[in-house]
Chains A and B, each alone.
Chain A
Amino acid sequence: MLLKLAWRNIWRNKRRTIITIVSIAFAVILSSLMRSMQLGSYERMVDNSVRFLTGYLQIHKKGYWDEQVIDNAFTPPSNLQKKVEGIANVEAAVPRLESFALASYQTKTKGALVIGIDPQKEAALTNVEDKIVQGKPFEIDEKHVLIGTGLAEYLKLSVGDTIVLISQGYHGANAAGKYAVCGLVQFGLPQLTNQAVFMPLPSAQYFFGAEQLLTALAVVTEHPKHVSSIEASLLQEVDTTALEVMNWRIMMPELIQGIEVDNISGIIMLMLLYVVIGFGMFGTFLMMTTERLYEFGVLLSIGMRRYKLQLIVFAEIIMLAMIAVLVGFALSIPLISYFYHHPISLSDTYKEAFEKFGIEAVYVFSLEPIVFTSQAWVVFFMALVLGIYPLYKIWKLDPVNAMREGR
């Protein structure tokens, strides 16, 4: 009965109720969209630089991370790869040998990152094969390399041309070699596109004079939630006096920081949006209360307990918030899932500007449930807080005064 009363009361002033619902729903849609875009871009950033580059976890020689030079390469214990891949939720252990080199073609020279990969294993990480935009798929061998499109552009070379790589090898050995470019690759991460030279692991080991050595063994897992358990297992498998296990949070502090800063600014924007909506909601609650003081007075006079009256008004507020949130969901879920499947790519003009700052020129969206649930909680929380006013008003209501003044 109380619920029936509350329900009918909501629809007493249809126009106001609809305006309130629409404005809350609009806030839910806008903020889910903003949130989805932010979280989506973080997921993408993390994916680009972690999932597809360093891996969520890496094993390397102690000290390598602080001083990433070829001399800090290590000889992996023979069964290390097998053991790591035996840990639950580990998809692959991907060996890498990487270091810097100068890449030249005709008169141009540029710093490059030579990455020696195991093509089969690499499929689980960088998935280089999928990133080839020009040239034949994946034909690297001791004479052929893949290079990033940015690097190729700078050097003004195309598929089929030959580049010269010069570097310092393991323990000061000379490293130099001539390689034919068999394809160009492009990554979400501009640094990689502008620097990478991929060759098979044995070729890289030969080039750097670092037979059997690796700079890192990257550990691939599907989702970052597994990282801590895998890390614990790795620490047991690995000789920690010689090697170190690092997770992506430690390897990518700038990324994490960047995300945090951006996240805070995003949350502030959302808060501003909700403050505006909050005022609207409060206005509605205020009117819902003040225009009914006479009626409340009558109800108290004829013997309705205050708490029942409060329950009715509270139910009205909760129902109103619930309808608004549901309407918001009903509209935002299809909208966001559309964008999730069709990310917005920026036009070429913006693309350059974005990539200068190392940002991929694409807006991606997240469909994580938190995008939506957080909005629902915010609206409910606001309704609860703002709902204190009408409840307080009823608590203090004197029926005689209410009816004298309400006339």
Chain B
Amino acid sequence: METTVAKKIVIKTENIAKTYHESKIPVQALKDVDLEIEEGEFTAIVGPSGSGKTTLLNIIGGLDKPSKGKIIIGDTDISNLKESQLIDFRLHHIGFVFQQYNLIPVLTAKENVEFIMLLQKKSEKEMEERAMKLLKEVGLEDKAKVRPSELSGGQQQRVAVIRALASRPKFILADEPTANLDSASAGNLLDMMARMNREENMTFIFSTHDQRVIDKARRVVTLEDGMIKYDEVR
């Protein structure tokens, strides 16, 4: 007898659409996007510029509200949360990595890694251990006491990834994390993310333009004009 273990779904969007009304002509950034992300995925969102990648990630991450549709994370429908509830929800359940300037410039690498745990009021000891362990895993333990301005772009992004990772969110959203890196650093960052995906069983969803980055993903969702055009699992 064969048993299929049903994988846990961490993100489910139902018919989400987003229209921006900031200019005279409304911009339809997303149209009826249905997407399910399972625990442990390593998924790339790709598509041409303006196709809606950032909009989608922002909506999944609770940074932006859809014009219509639902987003369910775990078993919470975040489309119904109030601003302050959303902030707390993000703090406890979602990790973010942005394109650049992720880190707080006046804190050291280690303090940056601890920062989210600090907001979560974790104990000093737990923060310290977790931050040092992760820094070591990404080969930055000797940079623990260094401020972001003294780190290379690739090192900064690695710190940003482990900051997101440290508090053990349900998943990590990374909007073009390699956009400002040279291709060697971009490759390194992706390898590191892939390793964390395996070792920590962390779900990653990242957007990118870079073919070599796309090649490292296990699932690639292609957006075009605010709609999912392809969705391939490799």
Contact = CB atoms under 8 A, between A and B. Distances in A.
Interface of A: 1, 5, 8-9, 12, 294-295, 298-306, 308, 399-400, 403, 407
Contacts of A407: 99-100
A287 to B, nearest CB: 15
A308 B58 CA distance: 22
B102 interface: yes
Given A8-B106, A301-B96, A1 B118 contact: yes
B138 interface: no
Interface string B47-85: 000000000001001011000000000000000000010
Given A400-B63, A403-B98, A303 B104 contact: no
B143 interface: no
Interface of B: 58, 61, 63-64, 84, 87-88, 90-92, 94-96, 98-102, 104-107, 115-116, 118-119, 163-164
Contact of A300 (B87, B95, B98, B163): B87
B107 A304 contact: no
A305 B84 contact: yes
A401 to B, nearest CB: 9
Q: Interface residues of A: mostly helix, strand, loop or mixed? A: helix
Contact of A303 (B58, B91, B101, B102): B91
A288 to B, nearest CB: 13
A16 B164 CA distance: 33
- Identify the interface centre among A295, A302, A306, A407: most chain B CB within 10 Å of its CB: A302
20 contacts: A8-B107, A9-B106, A295-B105, A298-B98, A298-B102, A298-B104, A299-B104, A301-B90, A302-B90, A302-B96, A302-B116, A302-B119, A303-B94, A303-B119, A304-B87, A304-B119, A305-B84, A306-B87, A403-B98, A407-B100
Contacts of A303: 87-88, 90-92, 94, 116, 119
Contacts of B107: 5, 8
Given A12-B106, A294-B101, A400-B58, A302 B91 contact: yes
A258 B34 CA distance: 81
A301 B90 CA distance: 7
Given A9-B106, A304-B119, 16 more contacts: A5-B104, A8-B107, A298-B96, A299-B104, A302-B115, A302-B119, A303-B90, A303-B91, A303-B92, A303-B94, A303-B119, A304-B91, A305-B87, A399-B63, A400-B58, A407-B100
A306 B83 CA distance: 10
A306 B99 CA distance: 22
Nearest to B91: A303
Contacts of A1: 118
A308 B116 CA distance: 13
A22 to B, nearest CB: 22
Contacts of A12: 105-106
B138 to A, nearest CB: 19
B204 to A, nearest CB: 16
A213 to B, nearest CB: 81
Contacts of A295: 101, 104-105
CB-based closest 3 A-B pairs: A303-B91, A8-B106, A303-B90
Contacts of B99: 407
Contacts of A5: 104, 106-107
Given A1-B118, A305-B84, A305-B87, A298 B106 contact: no
B230 to A, nearest CB: 26
A294 B99 CA distance: 12
A300 B89 CA distance: 12
B84 to A, nearest CB: 7
A12 B149 CA distance: 12
Nearest to A303: B91
A379 to B, nearest CB: 25
Nearest to A10: B106
Nearest to A299: B104
B96 to A, nearest CB: 5
Nearest to A304: B119
B64 A400 contact: yes
A273 B168 CA distance: 54
A5 B99 CA distance: 23
Nearest to B93: A303
A362 to B, nearest CB: 52
A5 B107 CA distance: 8
Nearest to A11: B106
A299 B103 CA distance: 9
Nearest to A292: B105
